[in-house]
Amino acid sequence: MGFLDTLPVTIMQWVRSALSPYLPVWGSELVVALAKVVLALVVGIMPVIVFTWMERKVLARGQDRFGPNVAGPFGLIVAFADAIKILTKEDVIPAAADKPAFRLAPALILIPALLVIAVIPFGRGAIAADLNVGVLYVIAMGSMTALAVLTASWSSGNKYSLVSAFRAVAQLVSYEVPMAFALLAVVLVSGSLSTVRIVEAQAVPFALTMPIAAAVYFLCALAEANRSPFDLLEGESELVAGFNLEYSGMKFAMVYIGEYLHIFLIGALTTTLFLGGYRGPILPGWFWFFAKSLFVVFVVLWIRTTWPRFRIDQMLDFAWKFLVPLAMANLVVVAVAYKITSDVYMGAGLSLLANLLLLTATVVLLVAWARRSKSRRVRALILGEV
């Protein structure tokens, strides 16, 4: 098992040693770096193909129907069929569009997502670039989405697109704040911003020691990726397709891949930061990593199948008035819990206890507020008085 576990690292070593007689040091290092890039891209984009298929199957089965089963056995070829379909469509650029920005925007959506793949540890030692500011890098790349969405919709020259983009930017920017607080708790406990060090620090996965941070991070990641229940951008029943209304052909394909890559990144980052990354018994590290990511992605799709969507003001209220105070309180509570003891497992247990107390306090406060409230909506939601 040790061999399989460190297979990516072994491959890179082999490449380096195979080339070193023929090339100077910087030459072989350059080739190894390029090989790492290629491998990371392949490993990062393969899940996108799988998830296209998985989404359609999971949604279909949830809706009591079959889903794609004609294109290939169990519809497995459907991602390629989709790709061929999209690429053969006419690439229309509206007359009122701002052409350079219109052409640039899909790249702006796709490239930051691709760049995040660099800091995800797929297995032991299998990381393209072990930056010592990994988490900060991830947050920075996530922030690029807001700019990309605004560029895409403004350059489309379409009123509907613009109105959607305003809402999108408000949503994206608002949800970065609780996400940062949740990640701060993780960084505080593991003592480093590097993703590899965070995985190594999870003798007990952080989802068990700080479930509030995990839940907050998951919801914020859903909002950043514009997925249900925060998907007003794609709300077909509202302003049709939102910022990617005017895109077709290859540009739409890039936006589409970017979106699915975001979903995979939700899975990968939740796994790395909260579920213990590649840690797991017996089976090789990369297997555990992909299994955990797949599970998280399945939950994302499950939520899409079943939950309706929020209204924009309710969504923003939820972020600012509920998630931000909760994430801040969680940070304080976890910091205190880990400071009290120096033993890892004691700290984990205390942190879990502290989280549960925080949850209880939140529920008590919410119920007390709801009892005093005159709003039917609040009373129905919290006290169940329909």
How many angstroms separate the CA atoms of 115 and 261, rounded?
A: 11
Phi–psi pair at 125, nearest 5 degrees = 75, -5
Q: Count the residues of the shown chain that bind another protein, applying the rule CB under 8 A.
A: 37
- To the nearest whole angstrom, how small is the minimum distance from the Cβ of residue 263 to another protein? 15
- To the nearest whole angstrom, how small is the minimum distance from the Cβ of residue 313 to another protein? 7
How many angstroms separate the CA atoms of 283 and 286, rounded?
A: 9
- To the nearest whole angstrom, how small is the minimum distance from the Cβ of residue 59 to another protein? 7
Q: Show contacts with another protein in window 223-242 (CB under 8 A).
A: 228-229, 231-232, 235-240
- Nearer residue to another protein within complex by CB, 13 or 314: 314
The contact mask relative to another protein for 313-352 (x = CB under 8 A, - = no) is xx--------------------------------------
The contact mask relative to another protein for 108-147 (x = CB under 8 A, - = no) is ----------------------------------------
Candidates 291, 300, 338, 44; CA nearest to 187 is 338
Could you tell me what percentage of the chain is helix, strand and coil, using 3-state DSSP and rounding each to the nearest 5? 75, 0, 25
| Nearest-10 Cα torsion for 308, 311, 316, 321 | -80
CA 316 vs. chain centroid, Å, equals 19
Is 262 a binding residue for another protein by CB under 8 A? The answer is no
- To the nearest whole angstrom, how small is the minimum distance from the Cβ of residue 307 to another protein? 6
91: its two tokens:
């690439």
How many angstroms separate the CA atoms of 192 and 202, rounded?
A: 12
- Nearer residue to another protein within complex by CB, 171 or 351: 171
- To the nearest whole angstrom, how small is the minimum distance from the Cβ of residue 376 to another protein? 5
Q: Which of 85, 89, 311, 339 binds another protein (CB under 8 A)?
A: 311
How many angstroms separate the CA atoms of 173 and 183, rounded?
A: 16
Phi–psi pair at 123, nearest 5 degrees = -165, -175
Q: List contacts with another protein (CB under 8 A).
A: 59, 62-65, 159-160, 163, 167, 228-229, 231-232, 235-240, 304-314, 375-377, 380-381, 384, 386
